[in-house]
Chain A
Amino acid sequence: MGIDLAQFHEAFFEESFEALESMEAALLKLDVGAPDPEVINTVFRVAHSIKGGAGMFNFSDIASFTHTCETLLDGVRAGRTRLTTAVMDLLLKSVDVMREMLRAAQRKESFDPQKVADLQFDLEVAVANNDVAAAPAAAVQAASAAPATEAQLPEWQISVKPLENMLSRGNEPLALFAALAEHGELSVTASIDAVPPLAKIDPHRCYVHWVLRLKSAASEQQIAEAFEWVEGDCDYRITPAAAVSPAAKPGTPAPAPPPAAAAVAPEVPSPPPAPAEAAAARPAAKTDAAPAANSGDAGSIRVSVGKIDELINTVGEVVITQSMLAQLGALVEGPSAEQLRSGLAQLERNVRELHESVMRVRMLPIGFAFSRFPRLVRDVAQRLGKQIDLKLTGEQTELDKTVLERIGDPLVHLVRNSIDHGIEKPEERVAAGKPAAGTVHLEAFHRGSAIIIEVSDDGRGLDCDRILAKARSRGLVGPSETPSEEAIFELIFLPGFSTAEQTTDLSGRGVGMDVVRRNIKSLGGKIDIRSARGRGSRFSISLPLTLAIVDGQSVCVGCETYIVPLVSIVESLQIKAGGVNRLSNAGEVISFRGDYLPLLRLYELFGAEPRSRAIHEGLVVVVEGEGQRVGLFVDDLRGQQQVVIKSLEANYGHVPGISGATILGDGAVALILDVPGLIRSTARRVAA
């Protein structure tokens, strides 16, 4: 072809991996008893496009394998092959093998051909076993075709002789015929003279050639267009047929061919089974592809994450500059000051919108992380002999791409744990009066500026006694100590802690939960456990939506400015002199809407010199986190602004009570308060 196709390989791989994912998801949606034809069409289409791509890029082994897979799918679609669990397994395995083949091709490694051949053989057996009554069904359809309305149209004779590699390059004669049939009435005669005896047949080769007669007003060029894709893969000749009706009026456009004309004569015995069905199904496949495209990838482009991050960084700087201008603008006086300020207000709105839009670019629905679970649950459950219903909710909940990518593994671990340790065997469940099939529920939703992901199951729950016994035997808990239930649950996050009596290859090696928690913490999130013996457990992960930005309220303490994330602020108020009560030695409390809240004097906590220590001369900011409220005593409130979170840990380290830093409009650094952390430290203090 003269074009270096290698430059498109990466895109092909990327698209194919995505396609395989959607194929897998669609397969898992299929009901073995009553497969939804729409879904089968989706699966078929995906396989077909991978085959086409692989053929085009000369990955002939992938193309050939996918072709076999497609044949089986085609059988399923046509109802010739019953979709049994065995066939499903086979198809899922094929997805795995295709993925591995693609991966190997991507890395330019070779892939174990035996593995492919074995599965391909299984697929072929499955096709052969179920291939029943194809020809009669097709014949009926063909007979009903060919209404003789276009007798006066010119007739073309087209001979098609595929070259050896046409099939292995992913081209299907059937598709070609369907394209031709769009021009008018088509009849196909297959010549099987060249087909060798069965023993000598190479299944990858096409031995059949065809003579087609097409009644159509289309020009030779229009007809030749159908051959564009097979150019170089087959020899063809288009000639006006001898019996052309002279009545053909040049220049008169042909009436649209009736849809029935799309049927193709069924004398084609060997390569693609079920031609009639496939041809009939193709238009259907096209129509349902359109809405799918509208909902999902309408006009999307691929952009590298690096570029987006650059954009986000720049916008972050714009946000900083904007807040600097806003501060300056407030000080300006003079005739045009008012105009300047209204312009700045406009700028602020625009910058905010710009920032939100840019941040949304990075947001992806969590469904991407959830999509692997149906398969995983199916496999794990099968291996363990358990019955699991997987429920997914909130797949549309969006979160930052980085967070999304890094939450996948912890979730896999939690789900595996739920199946392995949580859900009981069917007989155990029935004995306990529960349905035989256990439920694992993955749920995502937004709460404030956090996304909550919950993994819950209705299994046996965490066994406090066993965890405690294990902890005692390891000396983690003293023999006389009786920790609270919560504290016991905490124990399972310790490195190397596992109560599984028998470690399986799935879980129970005790390398898991501490890693899970570390990963979640590194994302600025946390994980909580709730569990009831015999009723199940729930792991609740709370993650920040994005790692880059926060709406903040500036407060000052002494000469330092701190940022309090706006989401955690309940109210700011002034307390009258004497409004603070001391709880013996444990600390101070203030009265707030009928409740008593602990009071944290930030200057004490941070070792700063306050403007005043008298409660009525400063302000109290009531903040909430982890379900608790505390009052923060500060000198004064400043403006509210969006701040870009910068890491303090990159060059320094973690500071308790501080979640990060930001750069203010004047270029100075302000620290961002870690409200949940502050609240935890108060809780510890009160407990102490």
Chain B
Amino acid sequence: MNANPTKTAASDAASRQVLTFVLGEETYGVDILRVQEIRGWSAVTKIPNSPPHVLGVLNLRGSIVPIVDLRKRFNLAQAEYTAVTVIIVLTVRSEAGRRDFGVVVDGVSDVVDVDAGAVKPTPDLGARAATDHISGLVSIAERMVVLLDIDRLIGSQLADSVGADAAAISEAARAA
């Protein structure tokens, strides 16, 4: 289980930049190179029968981008969407090619340099699914920052949800 984060950490360059953001009490970080842009919250268009953490889609300069609520994804308490709520638009790469999507977070904190040696593997908490998307933990200014592996977090997640949709529509139809 621990092989994943250690491998990821070791294969990275000695130092990289990470964008940190806040969700509730916790601080998370994503590789800055994956960040397309940061924008304010605006209303989204719902997608029928989407998984609960997919809020809907937004128009990002002509392309249609799904928006994921990370609080829902991480089973955190629900927060109000306010003026300071931001969307970070990220890029994932998978076999299916490049995909853009936005994540809703409480607020963006900082861009920090993270030394590869300082990244600690995620401890085995027993619940496999819960830590799969975490590439490691790092301590910055006395705070623990959870480094996210967004390819694992979203790349698989949206695809799964799509597979489940076929079942969802027939269920919805049957319920009618």
Contact surface of A with B, Cβ cutoff 8 Å: 317, 560-561, 587-588, 601, 604-608, 646-648, 650-658, 661, 663, 667-671, 681-682, 684-685, 688
Contact = CB atoms under 8 A, between A and B. Distances in A.
11 contacts: A605-B169, A608-B46, A650-B99, A651-B101, A655-B48, A656-B165, A656-B168, A657-B169, A668-B43, A681-B169, A684-B170
Contacts of A604: 172-173, 175-176
B58 interface: yes
Given A661-B57, A685-B174, A560 B45 contact: yes
A648 to B, nearest CB: 6
B166 interface: yes
- Interface of B (DSSP majority class): mixed
A653 B162 contact: yes
B57 to A, nearest CB: 5
B174 A656 contact: no
Contacts of B173: 604-605, 681-682, 684-685
Contacts of A681: 169-170, 173
A607 B49 contact: yes
Interface of B: 43-50, 54, 56-59, 62-66, 99-101, 158-159, 161-162, 165-166, 168-170, 172-176
Contact of A656 (B62, B100, B166): B166
A661 B63 CA distance: 9
A684 B62 CA distance: 35
A669 B45 contact: yes
- With most chain B CB atoms within 10 A of its CB, the pick from A317, A601, A653, A661 is A653
Given A646-B62, A646-B63, A650-B63, A607 B162 contact: no
B62 A605 contact: no
Given A652-B162, A655-B50, A685-B173, 14 more contacts: A317-B62, A604-B175, A648-B47, A648-B64, A650-B63, A652-B54, A653-B159, A656-B166, A658-B47, A669-B57, A671-B45, A671-B47, A681-B169, A688-B174
Contacts of A657: 48, 169
Of all A-B residue pairs in the complex, the 7 with the closest CB atoms, nearest first, are: A653-B162, A606-B48, A669-B45, A656-B169, A652-B66, A685-B173, A604-B176
A676 to B, nearest CB: 14
Given A601-B176, A605-B48, A681-B170, A652 B158 contact: yes
Contacts of A670: 45
A587 B176 contact: yes
A669 B64 contact: yes
A658 B46 CA distance: 12
Contacts of A606: 46, 48-49, 172
A607 B172 contact: yes
Given A608-B46, A681-B169, A684-B170, A653 B64 contact: no
Nearest to A654: B162
B176 A651 contact: no
Contacts of B62: 317, 646, 663
A663 B54 CA distance: 19
A681 B48 CA distance: 14
